[in-house]
């Protein structure tokens, strides 16, 4: 893949491999791991602007930033321009020089509130949101899908709208809302968005390897790629795309996440989170399918660590 830095509203990233905002996954400890493997820019989990307005502690916790993260961007969502601007200007986002506006989330509970990808159907409101948030002085990026439905793809038009409203960078997910995460991304729509604007365009969707990343760049002309599920299953994918061999010390990575999370989240949340992350990371290792049920029934961090010792004791190789 062609590697280059990206300029985003005065913030320069070391490369053009971005980690997507992933609800339930991209907490500060996971982002730290991705940065250690070479990710150029990571995003927080999707954060409710209204939740920040009402000082919701669970919402605010999503913005916790750890040491060694790099230039993390915060992603927020909502539909009220004034509330979204207030979130950008709040103390909660003071540590984040880049704020990403979510206009692509496809899940029903978000869409029914007129948020996420529902904003693709309200271009004037989307434009107002971007222009208001830009007044905060933050670098503003926008993540959106190529359309709400297969019958109405609007990637180029929406890209121009974002640029005109002041966005510094856009990320285009190459699927419509109705497609969720299924099927091959629509390279032509991403390419049309790229041709329509002068600001950087990051392509998202279906990138799981270096070959996928290069194909995405070749097909779309985009400035970089954003990895989502690939990073969730294998955060080392950033290093692999940058030229590192595929082997990585999974046990050390898991232990590192546990150690980072425990002081902030406590044992209960850390255990639940790391049971599922461990299941992702050891997937494909010889004999590890037998450990899956034991992983999800572990009742303490100590029990989880005992399982890790068993899983990695024989140096099981990747299959």
- Please name which of 302, 240, 175, 262 lies closest in space to residue 34, comparing C-alpha atoms: 240
105 is catalytic: yes
Q: Which of 105, 133, 162, 288 is catalytic?
A: 105
Lookup result for tokens 């790099």: 70
Q: What kind and span of H or E run contains 118?
A: none
| 58 contacts 34 by C-beta, under 8 angstroms | no
How is residue 117 written in tokens? 């990808």
Cα 160 from Cα 171, distance rounded (Å): 13
Phi, psi of 68 (to 5 degrees): 75, 20
| 105 contacts 46 by C-beta, under 8 angstroms | yes
Cα 61 from Cα 83, distance rounded (Å): 19
- Please name which of 98, 42, 46, 44 lies closest in space to residue 227, comparing C-alpha atoms: 42
| 52 contacts 60 by C-beta, under 8 angstroms | yes
3-class DSSP state for residue 46?
A: strand
CB atoms within 10 A of CB 177: 23
Sequence ranges of the binding site for FMN: 75, 143, 173, 204-206, 228-229
Burial class (CB in 10 A: 0-12, 13-18, 19+), 27: buried
| 53 contacts 259 by C-beta, under 8 angstroms | no
How is residue 40 written in tokens? 């150029």
Q: Which residues pair with 143 in a beta bridge?
A: 102, 171
Catalytic residues: 105
């Amino acid at each position: 893949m062609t590697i280059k830095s990206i300029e985003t509203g005065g913030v320069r990233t070391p490369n053009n491999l971005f980690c997507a905002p992933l609800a339930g996954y991209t907490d500060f400890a996971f982002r730290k791991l991705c940065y250690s493997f070479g990710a150029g820019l990571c995003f927080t989990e999707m954060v409710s602007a209204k939740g920040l307005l009402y000082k919701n502690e669970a919402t605010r916790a999503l913005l916790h930033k750890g040491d060694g993260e790099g230039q993390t961007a915060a992603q927020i969502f909502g539909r009220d321009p004034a509330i979204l601007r207030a979130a950008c200007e709040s103390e909660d986002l003071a540590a984040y020089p880049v704020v990403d506006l979510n206009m692509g989330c496809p899940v029903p509970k978000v869409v029914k509130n007129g948020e996420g990808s529902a904003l693709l159907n309200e271009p004037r409101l989307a434009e107002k949101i971007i222009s208001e948030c830009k007044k905060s002085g933050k670098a503003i990026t926008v993540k959106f899908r190529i359309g709400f439905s297969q019958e109405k793809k609007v990637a180029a038009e929406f890209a121009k709208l974002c640029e005109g409203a002041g966005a510094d960078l856009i990320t285009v997910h190459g699927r419509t809302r109705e497609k969720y995460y299924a099927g091959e991304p629509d390279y032509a729509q991403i390419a049309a968005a790229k041709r329509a604007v002068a600001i950087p365009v990051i392509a998202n969707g279906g990138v799981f390897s270096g070959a996928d990343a290069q194909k995405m760049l070749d097909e779309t002309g985009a400035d970089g790629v954003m990895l989502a599920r690939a990073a969730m299953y294998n955060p080392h994918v950033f290093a692999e795309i940058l030229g590192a061999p595929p082997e990585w010390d999974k046990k050390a990575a898991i232990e590192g996440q546990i150690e980072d999370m425990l002081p902030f989240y406590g044992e209960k949340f850390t255990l639940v989170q790391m049971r599922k992350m461990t299941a992702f990371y050891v997937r494909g290792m010889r004999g590890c399918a037998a450990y899956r049920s034991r992983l999800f029934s572990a009742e303490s961090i100590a029990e989880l660590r005992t399982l890790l010792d068993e899983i990695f004791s024989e140096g099981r190789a990747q299959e």
